[in-house]
Structure 1
Amino acid sequence: MIKVTVWNEYLHEINNPVVASVYPEGIHGALSDGLACEDVFVRTATLAEPEHGLTEETLNDTDVLIWWGHLAHDQVDDEIVERVYKRVLAGMGLIVLHSGHASKIFSKLLGTPTEQLKWREADEKERIWVIDPSHPIAAGIGEYIELEKEEMYGEHFHIPTPDQLVFVSWFEGGEVFRSGVTFNRGQGKIFYFRPGHETYPTYYNPEIIRVIANGVRWAAPSATAAPVYGHAEPLEKIAVKA
């Protein structure tokens, strides 16, 4: 059983009737419904909850954390960001969606100001091309995913060179974007996936959910070797130098 926590600000859905009509149970509710299955347990957490719903107990019981944020990146407490950061380094998977690119946790883990990119809201077509068909996150997807309407994100995207580039998006207005990238930090795996603007029903699209579900399985902790840091005693006897 893979234990997933879906974190969402849950502000657009409360304050914007258009978004509420698209996601009446919140973006976190739609993702939870789409991802839950017999081998994946999903809980949700939101900004307004105590400790943003990301208590030590919750994070220690989370294999993969999914993050969606937009309006209130600055309202996420630095102590909670540090808590998530340490859990990722210790092996918890992290999936960052859409505008979560500008979150404190994504920037901290990648070491760059990840909010820097082009954007436009113009109801334009997005075609998400599979760049690495051998990658497990792309399993079950054809050559591309086509979304009738989405927000445009365009290069340059201020991130380090990804460990793996899985998807690249093309938009009707002409821009392209590295829309599916992975990184390794410590023992943790990170997957950023671009689509998911709040006014579009993107998270009901079965191919989008398939990609995120694949990402959950890819990012889940595995039995990797645990690194050891700090002062170390020698494994072999060191000869005394004359």
Structure 2
Amino acid sequence: MAIRTLVWGENVHEHLNKVVHDTYPEGMHTQIAKLLSSDANISASTATLQEPEHGLTEAILAETDVLLWWGHRAHGDVADEVVERVAKRVWEGMGLIVLHSGHFSKIFKRLMGSPCALSWREAGERERLWVVNPGHPIAKGLPAHFELENEEMYGEPFSVPEPLETVFVSWFQGGEIFRSGLTYRRGAGNVFYFRPGHETYPTYHDDTVGKVLRNAVNWAYNPNNYPDITEAPNVPVDKALEPIVARGQGLHSAGEEGFK
């Protein structure tokens, strides 16, 4: 079965900025899905902020193996209940790939537990991405480095937790560097942050970027979900693996749910 992949796009700049619209006339989310669809192992669909429940209903997320997230202008418009719903699916095993300005999204901050802040400059400068972990599956088939002629600069420090792995490091014409490809695991879910993707530049028309995203989807996919990861069952005394007798006073009655 193909990896069921959902590309979530804010879909705001495309309607407000002519440059963005001309670069992505069908929406950034649609172009990203096209990049993914060249891999026969990936079945890509899209959802946007404007749909009911932002296109991220419980039913849709239950049928999603990997979610890609691009947002920028409207981070605050994403409903908190939807953020919690997505976080739960990641904990259960859904993969999550956060793109570019998604570093400030509610879901990335929720899962990182940190400010996720950085420095930036919008000057269309060249970005050179170095593959610093060539043996990683996300780097499969990539050259030692690749370049994007026009990109927004992101600079360190990047206030995120120490990653499991660093796959890419970027250099910009202005001299800054940035950790541009970071992996994490949250619960049973694999998480990848990939830096490039400013909306006024044709980053998601780049073949190498497409290869990175396809590799990332295949890496993030976890066929072994853990649907009970958020449960905290009260194990009865008579169900203990070894015979025991309850002693002293407890706060809860037998079988009573605990506080969360």
The interval holding the TM-score normalised by the smaller chain is over 0.9
Give the direction of change, closer, same or farther, for the CA distance of 1:50–1:239 in structure 2 (3 Å limit).
Answer: closer
How is 1:68-217 mapped onto 2 (pairs within 5 angstroms)?
68-114=70-116, 116-217=117-218
Question: 2: distance between equivalents of 1:238 and 1:189?
Answer: 39
User: Which amino acid letter does the alignment assign opposite residue 170 of structure 2?
Assistant: S
Instruction: Give the corresponding residue for 2:45.
Output: 43
Question: 2: distance between equivalents of 1:221 and 1:61?
Answer: 13
**Deviation (angstroms), 1:231:** 3.2
The answer (yes or no) to whether the contact 2:94–2:225 under 8 Å persists in 1 is no
Question: 2: distance between equivalents of 1:8 and 1:196?
Answer: 12
User: Which amino acid letter does the alignment assign opposite residue 242 of structure 2?
Assistant: E
1:236 pairs with 220, 238, 242, which one?
A: 242
Q: Partner of 1:94: helix, strand, or coil?
A: strand
Question: 2: distance between equivalents of 1:204 and 1:160?
Answer: 30
Deviations 1:138-158 (A, max 9, x none): 001011111111000000001
Question: 1: distance between equivalents of 2:240 and 2:166?
Answer: 40
Instruction: Give the corresponding residue for 2:5.
Output: 4
Any gaps of 5 or more consecutive residues in structure 2? 248-260
Any gaps of 5 or more consecutive residues in structure 1? none
Q: Partner of 1:196: helix, strand, or coil?
A: coil
- Find out whether 1:27 has 2:28 as its counterpart: yes
Instruction: Give the corresponding residue for 1:54.
Output: 56
Question: 1: distance between equivalents of 2:241 and 2:107?
Answer: 37
The number of residue pairs the alignment matches comes to 240
Q: Partner of 2:157: helix, strand, or coil?
A: coil
Question: 1: distance between equivalents of 2:234 and 2:178?
Answer: 44
**Deviation (angstroms), 1:113:** 1.2
**Deviation (angstroms), 1:240:** 9.9
**Deviation (angstroms), 1:123:** 1.3
User: Which amino acid letter does the alignment assign opposite residue 160 of structure 1?
Assistant: P
User: Which amino acid letter does the alignment assign opposite residue 111 of structure 1?
Assistant: G
Give me the TM-score of the superposition, normalised by structure 2: 0.88
The answer (yes or no) to whether the contact 2:93–2:224 under 8 Å persists in 1 is no
Greater C-alpha radius of gyration: 2
User: Which amino acid letter does the alignment assign opposite residue 6 of structure 2?
Assistant: T
Q: Partner of 1:236: helix, strand, or coil?
A: coil
Question: 2: distance between equivalents of 1:195 and 1:87?
Answer: 25
**Deviation (angstroms), 1:60:** 0.5
Give the direction of change, closer, same or farther, for the CA distance of 1:58–1:142 in structure 2 (3 Å limit).
Answer: same
Q: Partner of 2:175: helix, strand, or coil?
A: coil
Give the superposed CA RMSD.
1.7
Instruction: Give the corresponding residue for 1:221.
Output: 222
